[in-house]
Structure 1
């Protein structure tokens, strides 16, 4: 009885992950095409630097979505949640946050938190990368 319940739960989990993967693919394509649209619009943008920052903002969002998608597809390949793509997505999100900070709105406490988070994520990516040489490390079962 318990084995059947676990099998149903496992299948439901796989279906949910598959649906999430499909939605992430759609979002990745939409953000990518938005970036292409913004690049084309750069030629008529009144403030070139502002336009470039918009493009970077959307491209980094696309990278974040792709890294989350990599986590989902990694789960299908290994039946484990891979930690490294999640950390990379987090690091990319923090870099994106730095890009959208305005000099007028910067508060020192926020900058310190952002620097700390970036340092911790970078160290975690390094540690997880080193542990990839050893089986079953850097993954959540």
Structure 2
């Protein structure tokens, strides 16, 4: 396998600590949300970081798909990722629920659907999650 890019991020202190990348470009303080039994606070959390990463990656996959499918995408096209920690009555183990809201204003609905479907195939985040996490994608 040919590695195109690799990075490392270290977590210290868990959900109430911080994370930082090996190159120093990322350093984020973390706070456990009150909904998960924490104190809340000004820090971010792993779910926010994951949502940010997935949204950015999926938008890049949309742009790559647009080039391949020869579909023009507006500069203000955007993706919002929603990440939730969930627990069902049937299975007490915690799980992730992920949703993507894709705004491709001005595109023909059929072209937008084709673009999103192709981006979902191209996105490495979507590919990694496909077997484990149900990802719901909607066009807005």
TM-score by length of 2: 0.31
Greater helix content: 1
TM-score by length of 1: 0.31
Greater strand content: 2
Which protein is bigger by CA-based radius of gyration?
A: 1
Q: Which has the higher contact order (CA 8 A, sep 6+)?
A: 1
